[in-house]
Structure 1
Amino acid sequence: MSKKKVLMVHNFYQIGGGEHTVFKNEVEMLRENGHEVIEYTRSNDELKKSKWKMLLLPFTTIWSFKTYREVKKIIKEQSIDIVHCHNTFPLISPSVYYAARNRRIPVVQTIHNFRFLCPGAMFYRNGKICEECREKQSLKSALKNKCYRNSKIQTLVVIAMLKIHKRLETYKKINYIFLTEFNKMKFDHLINVNGNNVFVKPNFVKEIQVKGRKSCKTKTFVFAGRLEENKGIKYLLSQWKNMAEDYQLHIYGTGPLEKYVKENSCDKKNIKFYGFQSQQVIFNDLKSAMGMIFPSLWYEGFPMIIAESMAIGCPVISTNIGNENDIIISSNGGVTFNIDENESFELAVEKCICDNDELSLNAQKFYEKVLTRDKNYECLNKIYENVKI
C-alpha cells in the first residue's frame, strides 16, 4: 500500500507551546516513515506586519479566502491524499476544511484544546475550572466574562466563528484525533464522540538522550513548566512550606510569576529556583528525582513534560483533574492529589516515595507501550487509512 501524501496545517501563535512541538514532531515522524509531507503554515506574526490583516481579522477568523484559495491549489498541484490540521485559529480559519471537501479530500483535526467549546479554549476562568458554556450549550457567559483576551469584542469574534460553523455543521463534517478519552468525551454535545470519524491518539516523546534512571537517594522533586497562575506554581510553593528540609524542590521555568517564585524561594533551604534551562538539564535532574510535580489547575491538553518524565521513568505527582489525571490513571505511573483537600498533597508525595520503584517501572512501561515514536506512527497511519471524506 502506498504511503499517504499529507498536507499538514498549522497556525503558529506568537508565543510557542506544546501544539507547535507536536506539529513539528509529527511532520518529522511522517517523513522518516516515507510519507511526503507538505506544510501549510501561517503565523500570528503576520498581524504585526499588516494593519489590514489586523482590521480584517474579525472576518478572516470566520472565513479566510486566502486559506481557501491556497489550500485548494496545493491539494490539486501536489496531489494531496489527506489534510491534517493542528491549529487553524485565528488566521487559517475553518475555511481549510471546505477547501479539502471541495477537492474531495479527507480532513482530520487534532484537538489540542477546547476552543470549539470555549472561546478561552481552556475551560478555566478566575482561577477555577469553568464549563458553563459547554454545560448550558450557550456562549453568553463567555461574552459576559470576556473570556478571550479579556476583551468583549475579541470574545464576540470567537463566538461568531463558533456559532456560524456550528450552524453550518462544519464540525460534523471532519475527522477528529483526540489526545485522551477525557478530551473526547467533553465534545459529546458538539459531535457524535462514538462515531467512526473520531479517534484517540496521544502525543509521543522523541527519544530522550538520558540513559539509565538513577536510584533515588534523596527526596528531590522537580517542577518544570511555565510560571503562571494556571500551572499551580503558587499552590505548590504554599504546600512546600509545610515540607521538612530534606524534601527538596527544584523549580525550572520562566513566565509572569518568575519574580513571585524568586521572592518565595530565596530564603527556603529546601527550594531551589533554576529559571529557564535546557531540556537536557531538566531531564538529567528528572533522572535521579523521586518525582515530577504537576500541580496544574486546569484540564491541560496532553502535557509533554508528563510524557517525558514517564519516558525517563520518573513518577508524576499530579492534580486529579483533566487529562493529567486521565494519563496517571491509564499508566499507574504516578499519584494524584485533590487540590481542595489540605492533606492530599502531602499524602501523594509520601506515596510517591514509598512506591517509587513500582511507579517508575509503570511509567516506563506506559511509555514503551503508548508514547514511543514507533507506536505513535502505527496509530496515526491506521487513522489515515480509516478517515472519511
Structure 2
Amino acid sequence: MKILMVHNRYRSTAPSGENRVVDQESEALTAAGHTVRHFERHSDDIEDWTTLKKATLPARVVWSRTSRQDLVRELFRHRPDVVHIHNTFPLLSPSVLYACRLAAVPVVITLHNYKLLCASGDFFRDGDVCHDCAGGNPVPGVLHRCYRGSALATATTVLNTRGHRRSWRDLVSAYVFISESQRRLMSGMDFDPERTFVKHNMVPYDGPVVGDLAAPRRQVSYVGRLDAAKGAPLLMQGWDAYRASAGDDALRLVIAGGGPMLDEVTAWAAERPSVELRGLMSKAEVFELIGESRAVVLPSAWEETFGLVVVEAMAVGVPPLASGHGSFPDLISDGVDGALFEPGDPASLGKLLLDVDADPERYAELGRQARSTYETHHQVDRNVEQLLEIYRFAVANPVTITRR
C-alpha cells in the first residue's frame, strides 16, 4: 500500500509524543513492505520568518493556500492509496483536506488530542479538568483565552476548528482515536460512528524486561513534562504525603524530564534528599530508568488521550501508578497490571506509594502482568495490522461529498 503521512511537526524545544508516533508508525509500515512518504511542515521554521510574515500566521492557521497547492502537486505526482493526517496546526491548516478531495484520495486522521473541541487541546484550565467546550460551543474557550492566554490566538485556533467543522466531518473517511475515553469525550464532534476506530499508539520495545535485569532499586520514577497538566504539583504533594508516613529506609523518587515547572520542581527537590532530578533523557536512558524502578508514577491532572509512559513501563515489566481518569483506566487494569489512584488527591497517591514500599512482591507480580498486557495488546505487528485495516476501510469506503 502507498501511504502519505501528513504532519505539522512540533517545535524541537518541546519534545513531542505525536512526532514520535508518526516516525514509529512510518518505520513499522515500511518494515512491513509498504511505501510511506511524508508531507510535512515544521513549527521551528516560524522562528526564521520575517516580522511581516509572522503577522500572517493567524490567517495561515485558518487556511494555508501554499500547503493546499503543494499537497495537490504531491498527490498527483505520487498517487498514494491513502493520506494519513496527524497534525495540521499551525502551518498546514484544514486546507489539506480540500487538496485530498481534489485528488480523490481518502483521508484517515489520527486525533492525538482534543483540539477540534478545545482551544488548548487538553480539556484543562486553571489547574483542573474543564469540559465547557466539549459540547461544541467554543465561546467559553475564547472568553477564558485558553490558548496561550491570548484572545487573538484562541480565536484563531477556534476559527481553524469550528470554522471548518463541516470539513472535518465531511472530508475524512476514517477517524482514529487513541483511546476509548478520548472517543467518548469527543462525541461533541458528531462524527459518523461507523467511521470511528480506536487504535492505541504504537510503542516499540525489544529491550530487556525486569526479569532479565537486576532487582529493581528502592525507587519509583516519574518520566515526562514538568507542568501542571502532567501533574507535577500532585507529584510533589503526593511524595510529601508519602514521606510524612514512611520509615527511615523509604523509597526514593527519580524524576526525568523538563518543562515550565522545572525551576519549581528543582527548588522542591533540593530540600528533599529522597528526590533526584535527572533532566531530559534519551529513550534508551528512559527505559533503563524504568527498569531500575519498582513502579512508574503518572499523576496527570488532565485526562490524557493516551499514556505512552504507561505502555513503556508495561513493556519493561514495571507497573504504572496512574491517576484514575482519561485513558489510564482503559490501559491499566487496577490491581492486575498496575494501580490507579484518585485524580488530584495527594493523600491517595501517598497511600499508594506506602503500599508500593510495604509490599514489593505484590508490585513485582503486577509488573509481570504488565509485561503480559504489553505482549497481548501492544505488540508492533498487531498495531500495524490494526492500522492497515483502517486504511483498507477508508479506501473501500471513501466519503461521499454532498456540496451544499
Same fold at TM > 0.5: yes
Residue 8 of structure 2 corresponds to which residue in structure 1? 11
Matched, 1:31 2:30: yes
Residue 364 of structure 1 corresponds to which residue in structure 2? 371
Q: What's the TM-score once normalised by structure 2's chain length?
A: 0.89
Residue 187 of structure 1 corresponds to which residue in structure 2? 186
Cα offset for 1:45?
2.4
Distance 1:253 1:41 in 2: 27
Distance 1:69 1:85 in 2: 16
Cα offset for 1:179?
0.5
Amino acid aligned to 1:200: V
Residue 225 of structure 1 corresponds to which residue in structure 2? 224
Q: 1:7-61 CA distances to partner (integer Å, 9 max, x unpaired)?
A: 1010012233100010111111111111111100001123222234422222221
Amino acid aligned to 1:7: L
Cα offset for 1:226?
1.5
Distance 2:164 2:334 in 1: 34
Q: State whether residues 18 and 303 of structure 1, in contact with CA within 8 Å, keep that contact through their aligned partners in structure 2.
A: no
- Residues 1-389 of structure 1: pairs in structure 2 closer than 5 A: 4-14=1-11, 15-51=14-50, 52-135=52-135, 137-166=136-165, 168-174=166-172, 175-192=174-191, 194-195=193-194, 197-213=195-211, 214=213, 216=215, 218-242=217-241, 243=243, 244=246, 245=248, 246-329=250-333, 332-341=336-345, 343-352=347-356, 354=359, 355-387=362-394, 388-389=397-398
The DSSP-based 3-state class of the residue aligned with 1:322 is: coil
Amino acid aligned to 2:268: N
Structure 2 residue ranges without an equivalent (≥5) = 399-404
Residue 401 of structure 2 corresponds to which residue in structure 1? none
Q: State whether residues 3 and 83 of structure 2, in contact with CA within 8 Å, keep that contact through their aligned partners in structure 1.
A: yes
Q: 1:195-241 CA distances to partner (integer Å, 9 max, x unpaired)?
A: 2x111111122224334434656541011111222221222122212
Cα offset for 1:123?
0.4
Q: Percent same amino acid among aligned pairs?
A: 29
The DSSP-based 3-state class of the residue aligned with 1:61 is: helix
Distance 1:332 1:312 in 2: 16
The DSSP-based 3-state class of the residue aligned with 2:385 is: helix
Cα offset for 1:181?
0.5
Q: What's the TM-score once normalised by structure 1's chain length?
A: 0.92
Cα offset for 1:193?
5.7
Q: State whether residues 294 and 364 of structure 2, in contact with CA within 8 Å, keep that contact through their aligned partners in structure 1.
A: no
Amino acid aligned to 1:319: S
Higher deviation after alignment, 273-282 or 363-372: 273-282
Q: State whether residues 114 and 121 of structure 1, in contact with CA within 8 Å, keep that contact through their aligned partners in structure 2.
A: yes
Cα offset for 1:152?
0.4
Q: State whether residues 352 and 359 of structure 1, in contact with CA within 8 Å, keep that contact through their aligned partners in structure 2.
A: no
Inter-CA distance 357–273: structure 2 relative to 1 (3 Å threshold): same
**Number of residues paired by the alignment?**
383
Cα offset for 1:108?
0.4
Inter-CA distance 145–300: structure 2 relative to 1 (3 Å threshold): same
The DSSP-based 3-state class of the residue aligned with 1:329 is: coil
Q: State whether residues 235 and 346 of structure 2, in contact with CA within 8 Å, keep that contact through their aligned partners in structure 1.
A: no
Distance 2:9 2:167 in 1: 26
Structure 1 residue ranges without an equivalent (≥5) = none
Q: State whether residues 227 and 254 of structure 1, in contact with CA within 8 Å, keep that contact through their aligned partners in structure 2.
A: yes
Q: State whether residues 230 and 301 of structure 2, in contact with CA within 8 Å, keep that contact through their aligned partners in structure 1.
A: yes
Inter-CA distance 183–234: structure 2 relative to 1 (3 Å threshold): same
Alignment RMSD: 2.0
Residue 402 of structure 2 corresponds to which residue in structure 1? none
Q: 1:132-183 CA distances to partner (integer Å, 9 max, x unpaired)?
A: 0114x311111111111111011111112222212x3432431211101111
Distance 2:92 2:55 in 1: 16
Distance 1:310 1:331 in 2: 14
Cα offset for 1:110?
0.4
